[in-house]
Amino acid sequence: MIKKTLLLLITLCSFIVYSQDSKKPNIIMMIGDGMGISQISSSMYSSNNYTPLERSEFIGLSKTHSLDNLVTDSAASGTALSSGVKTYNGVLGLDENYNPVKSILLSVKDMAYNPDVKAIIVFSNSGKSAKLVSAMRPAAKIVTISPNINVSRQVSLLWGVQSINSRDANGWKDMMSISKEIIKKLRFIKKNDFVVITAGLPFGKAGMTNMVRLYKVGS
């Protein structure tokens, strides 16, 4: 339990803030690949004692070493970052007792079973993200957005999916702009309803689903 404390502390603080402010938190987690204390220090020393990290309101430090080794591998560190649970080198998505742990996509599913969440908007270039979300059979309606007409036609055959062929987002603000325009056209979504928006970063490239936002319509 001690080894999980630092990473889980960030999550717990988010819930505490939520309970005090009674507002839905909007959390964006940016992860630097292979970025440790020494890399941050080197960047700071070469940039006149400044790093872009200082523009962020909140900065967290996560120790992602594996359970059995201070030198971690991609599987163990990826599990720690995506779920807040440490595991062994060579083990992906399982805890120390080899029980499955939840990833971002499963968190999307949990949010989608909230009765106030009316839809999941999935930005998907290749259709992979749409297939993963559909496979989880969430209660909320799934709306996929893809710039590829062939992908849009294919994913429209998936369970619970309404597919929309649209241009791809070129950034975070553009993604929200596209989402809001589509939400206006969806009659089953009303003001103050919640929508889960998920995508893969960077935009414009097919890859893993690594971003999720809970958006309140009209906010």
Domain with 176 in it: 104-216
Q: Is there a catalytic annotation at residue 177?
A: no
Whether residue 74 is found in the same domain as residue 37 = yes
- The proportion of the chain whose per-residue pLDDT surpasses 70, expressed as a percent, equals 77
> pLDDT tens digits for 11-23?
433 433 333 444 5
State the pLDDT confidence band at 25, using cuts at 50, 70 and 90: low
Whether residue 112 is found in the same domain as residue 63 = no
pLDDT at residue 104 tops 70: no
- Indicate whether 90 belongs to any domain: no
How far apart (Å, rounded) are the C-alpha atoms in residues 162 and 191? 20
pTM of this structure? 0.55
Whether residue 49 is found in the same domain as residue 143 = no
Whether residue 118 is found in the same domain as residue 58 = no
What distances in angstroms separate CA 108 from CA 55, 204, 218, one per listed residue?
28, 22, 21
What pLDDT, on a 0 to 100 scale, did the predictor assign at position 88?
94
What pLDDT, on a 0 to 100 scale, did the predictor assign at position 208?
61
Whether residue 59 is found in the same domain as residue 116 = no
> pLDDT tens digits for 31-53?
776 677 888 888 888 888 888 77
Buried b / exposed e along 80-110 (16+ C-beta atoms within 10 A): bebbbbbbbbebebbbeeeeebebbbebbbe
Could you tell me the CATH number of the domain that includes residue 108?
3.40.1380.20
Q: Which of 41, 74, 177, 219 is catalytic?
A: 74
Whether residue 42 is found in the same domain as residue 131 = no
- Indicate whether 88 belongs to any domain: no
- Indicate whether 176 belongs to any domain: yes
- Indicate whether 23 belongs to any domain: yes
- Indicate whether 98 belongs to any domain: no
pLDDT at residue 5 tops 60: no
Look up residue 98 and give its two tokens. 């080899």
Look up residue 77 and give its two tokens. 């560190």
> pLDDT tens digits for 146-205?
999 999 999 999 999 999 999 888 888 898 999 999 999 988 899 999 999 988 767 766
The contacts of residue 11 (CB under 8 Å, 6+ apart) are 84
* Tally of structural domains, the chain: 2
